[in-house]
Amino acid sequence: MKCGSSCFKNKNIKSYIEKHGQPDYCSYTKSNEKVVSVEEIGIFIRKCLSKKYEYLEDNVLNYDYVNKRYNVPILSLSTILKELDFVSEGIDYNAFIGDIFSNSKKGEIYFKTFDYPKNDLEIVIKDSLSEGKNTGISKNWNIFKHIVRKYNRYFDISPSYSKLTYLEVIKEYLPYLEKIIDKKERFYRARIFQQNPNENIYYDPENSIAPPSSDFASNNRMSPRGISYLYLSDNENSTFSEIRASSGDKCILGEFETNKELKVIDFTKKTKFNTDIFSDNYKETDNWVHNFFREFALEISKKVEKEKNSSTLDSNYEYIATQILSEYIRYLGYDGIKFYSSVSAGNSFTFFYGPESHFNNLPTIRSYKDAFEIKKISLVEITEIIEEPLLLSKSIVEFHPEYSCEIHYTKDDFIILNQYLYEVIEENLLDL
């Protein structure tokens, strides 16, 4: 029996037949066209399936010997074939598929694996790194999290469960997500005004909005406690939402401008990978890397919920995986990461720039002044929440660093500055 290109929807199967077939009579469409034997096309389809799938028993890395079960979904071959949707309309699907698999049956492993319909529920996605569509794709990211949280953190103990296995592969794909931030682009950072004696906005406005010192750097999704990164948003309302500001809150708002070109990894960027297993250019890693990036992006963008029993739970433990990948991106020389905000429609940025330090000459975290200039610092009041999480603010007083930096902070200067600020604040409050 012979089949022609018109039996198939998939362009790559059609191309194979056009390239390798001979003009003859198609047994299924009853037309004269280029055809190949059903056995040959069956071998081709089986080999393509083996690029992504394998026999269950060969997937030993995913077997949980403690609980005596596999850690990956056990897949139905018939379902996968339906999802691939490569058979043309008008063809008797069940008879056609039956002919393809029965006539191409041989002794090789990939033939044993795809024995339709006998081994219908006995295949899985290949190796421990791969996950496919609709088969639990978060598993690859979850495996990575499990390795670094519960297996080994700082050094790879086993080559079978290695952080470097993941990191070295995704390194090749990061250029697809690169984004250049031009000079003179504006970003925003805000925090709640504490109104306590230690608040230094009136005396040192710039420091009040700069990245915190390492002593005060808290644990975040992309930076562990003690390491200070610069977290910014691309619009004012987003940055108010990020700090969970409410109506009536007073906030310090900083407006930052880039003073040089920056290169970041953009996890909001859509990537196009070749996911057609019938293509000659298909690569197995395309699937799992695409899903790995997606799950990482979801992880860093999801809303932080207040944990129960927070006194006994350590958030340092929860963020280990995202912190490792972030630091690896920093290690590769990138300036930061762009991702979706978890609380607004805007975008958030983590820049690998910290506060001023006595050790700025060391090749560690660079000072934010190496890449940004603070153009304006405002003390604002959140006046109205229009539509969650959109907030409106009214400026109470503004500081312009290009002028304030000229002030020499002597005792007399403080008296003059405080008197001036008092008058400005009093005037603005009366207006409000």
Residue 264: its pLDDT value, please? 97
User: Which is higher by pLDDT, 403 or 408?
Assistant: 403
Residue 404: its pLDDT value, please? 42
191 phi and psi angles, rounded to 5 deg: -150, 155
Residue 319: its pLDDT value, please? 84
Please check whether residue 262 is in contact with residue 181, taking contact to mean a CB–CB distance below 8 angstroms. yes
Residue 134: its pLDDT value, please? 36
Residue 308: its pLDDT value, please? 43
Beta bridge partners of 34: 23
User: Which is higher by pLDDT, 398 or 348?
Assistant: 348
pLDDT digits (tens, 9 = 90+) for 86-128: 999 999 999 999 999 999 988 777 787 888 888 888 887 775 4
User: Mean pLDDT over residues 405-424, rounded?
Assistant: 48
CA atoms within 13 A on the CB side of 190: 28
Spatial separation of the C-alpha atoms in residues 387 and 46, rounded to whole Å: 54
Sign of CA dihedral 110, 112, 117, 122: negative
Residue 318: its pLDDT value, please? 77
Q: Which long-range contacts (CB under 8 A, 24 or more apart) does 161-166 make?
A: 161/128, 163/324, 165/129, 166/129, 166/292
% residues pLDDT > 90 (the chain): 33
User: Mean pLDDT over residues 24-48, rounded?
Assistant: 95
Q: How many residues does the chain have?
A: 432
CA angle 405, 406, 408 (to 5 degrees): 95
Residue 352: its pLDDT value, please? 94
Q: Which sequence spans correspond to the domains of the chain?
A: 2-127, 178-401
Question: Taking Cα atoms as reference points, which of 177, 143, 165 lies closest to residue 290?
Answer: 177
**Cis status, amide bond into 117, omega within 30 of 0:** yes
E strands in 223-371:
230-233, 250-258, 262-266, 336-340, 347-351, 353-354, 366-367
Question: Taking Cα atoms as reference points, which of 250, 285, 281 lies closest to residue 166?
Answer: 285
SS3 302: coil
pLDDT digits (tens, 9 = 90+) for 157-191: 776 667 787 788 888 889 999 999 999 999 999 88
